[in-house]
Amino acid sequence: MIMTFAEKILAKYAGEKKVEPGQIVTVKPDHLLMHDNAAPIISKIKPELQQYGVFKRSLPVIVLDHVIPAAGEKNALQHKQIREFVRTYKIKYFFDVGYGVCHQIIVEKGLALPGTLLLGSDSHTCSYGAVGAFSSGIDRTEAAALLLIGETWLKVPESIKITLKGQLHRWVTAKDVILSIIGDVSASGADYCSVEFHGAIARFSVDERFTMANMGVEMGAKNAVFPVDNVTMQYLTSIGVSKLKYKPLNPDVDAIYEKELTYSLSEIEPVVAVPHSVDKIKPVREVTGVEIQQCLLGTCTNGRVSDFEIAAKILKGKKVHRNVRLLILPSSRSVYLESLKKGLISIFLEAGGTILPPGCGPCLGAHQGVLAPGERCLSTSNRNFKGRMGCSEAEIYLASPATVALSAINGKITDPRKVKR
């Protein structure tokens, strides 16, 4: 049977030999992700939980990350309700305030493995394709239903094959690659589809694959995945996951795709997504000089050690421009700790940066770096929608850690290739 990744994994979870795009299957995911929204989710099904309990205590993974530490009494109360739920139902996987962003935690703790299926009540659940898992976002109501019955329906998606060729130039990163692809296919170009990355993927670390899979939803994708290779396996070994614990599922070479796209990496240059849509992509050189008041370096898209290493190379011994607030947002406590040991945090602090606790921070506009009207933020996060950082009269530009770091020094958007060697 010749199948794409999505067809293979959905066939496996549906107990079928073969499935086809458009077919509806019933699946039992390995894990269900929830974050601060676990509070409204469990409040929907209180009587049912009391009567039937949770389907399986190892199904949910709850990570408090969205508004942490609690910004107000309402958030604090929700966190408290979640902790009580975790205790009452003996939920196996709970990560309280400070562990990090849910998506990073899921991967870092080895909860997403090659050939597994995860659903989560967060749109960036698609990130786990970085390690060869099938993962997709759902709403709160569906998360509530899954907590009770452990299964749901999925439509087998059409698949898009993206082949990457060649090599990236210096200071051009995985973020520039994914932004360029989204600019090309548009914010709706992969609606309902499974996106597979092929070709020169061995050049991309799991961190970089994470950045790219994370943004799959920004082109409408149901999931985005990298086939499992030595890079994946070495990463998993490094976090203590034995090869015996997973069985990779890779697409067949001659699988049939709805669309096939090829990108030459050497032709990709540093880019930004300009307000207010992720598919409005421009080369950095075309917006050079645009003044910025805030820089956000981090998040689940670009808040890992390798991202910080790139930024630290640029920021070492330099000062952030006096008109700019540079916010550093590690994607997890272990990223924070490793960055600390490597001296990266000192570089950021000496440059004038502010380190935020590992979580979602200002990315969704609830706290810790909300913008004022007329302000502009250059961010390594994944969304630049109007109002996203809490103010509808502010602007958000998205870019790579390299572009953000150099721009923070200059106080205006700057091409990272201008770094003085």
Partner 1 sequence: MTVWKYGDNINTDMLFPGKYTYTCNTAEEIKPHLLEDLDPSFAKNVKEGDVIFAGKNFGCGSSREQPVLGLRAVGIIAVVAESFARIFYRSSINQGLLLIECPEAVRSYKVGDQVWLNIVKGTISVGSSTFSFPRLPNEILAIRDAGGLLPYTRQKLQQRKI
Q: Which residues contact partner 1 by CB under 8 A?
A: 24, 26, 36-37, 40, 43-45, 48, 51-52, 66-67, 72, 74-75, 78, 121-123, 125, 137-142, 144-145, 148-149, 153, 187-188, 191-192, 217, 220, 222, 277, 279, 364-366, 370, 383, 385-388, 390, 392
Q: How far is the CB of 173 from partner 1 (least distance, A)?
A: 24
Q: d(Cα 66, Cα 136) in Å, to the nearest integer?
A: 18
Residue ranges with strand state E in 111-236: 117-120, 134-137, 152-155, 159-165, 194-199, 223-225
DSSP string, 366-405: SSSSPPPTT-EEEESSS---TTTTS-TTSEEEE--HHHHH
- C-alpha to C-alpha distance for 359 and 115, rounded to whole angstroms: 27
Could you tell me the smallest distance in angstroms from the CB atom of residue 363 to partner 1? Answer: 9
- Residue 235 and residue 117: Cα distance in Å, rounded? 19
Closest to partner 1 by CB, 53 vs 166, is 53
Closest CB to partner 1 among residues 125, 299: 125
Nearer to partner 1, 26 or 264 (CB): 26
User: Please, what is the minimum distance in Å from the beta carbon of residue 216 to partner 1?
Assistant: 11
Min dist. Cβ of residue 305 to partner 1 (A): 27
CB closer to partner 1 out of 16 and 142: 142
251 to each of 3, 7, 116, 181, 234, how far by Cα in Å?
Answer: 6, 8, 14, 21, 20
Tokens 């630290």 belong to residue: 312
Q: Which is nearer to partner 1, 186 or 250 (CB)?
A: 186
Q: What's the N-to-C CA distance of the chain in angstroms?
A: 53
Minimum separation from the CB atom of position 370 to partner 1 (A): 7
Nearer to partner 1, 123 or 306 (CB): 123
Closest CA to 222 of 6, 51, 371: 6
The DSSP 8-state label assigned to residue 160 in this structure reads E
Least distance between partner 1 and beta carbon 104 (Å): 17
By C-alpha distance, which of 225, 228, 250 is closest to 241? 228
Whichever of 88 and 385 has its CB closer to partner 1, that residue is: 385
Spatial CA neighbour of 207 closest among 95, 118, 103, 349: 103
Provide the minimum distance between the beta carbon of 283 and partner 1 in the complex, in angstroms, as a whole number: 22
Q: Are 283 and 268 in contact (CB under 8 A)?
A: no
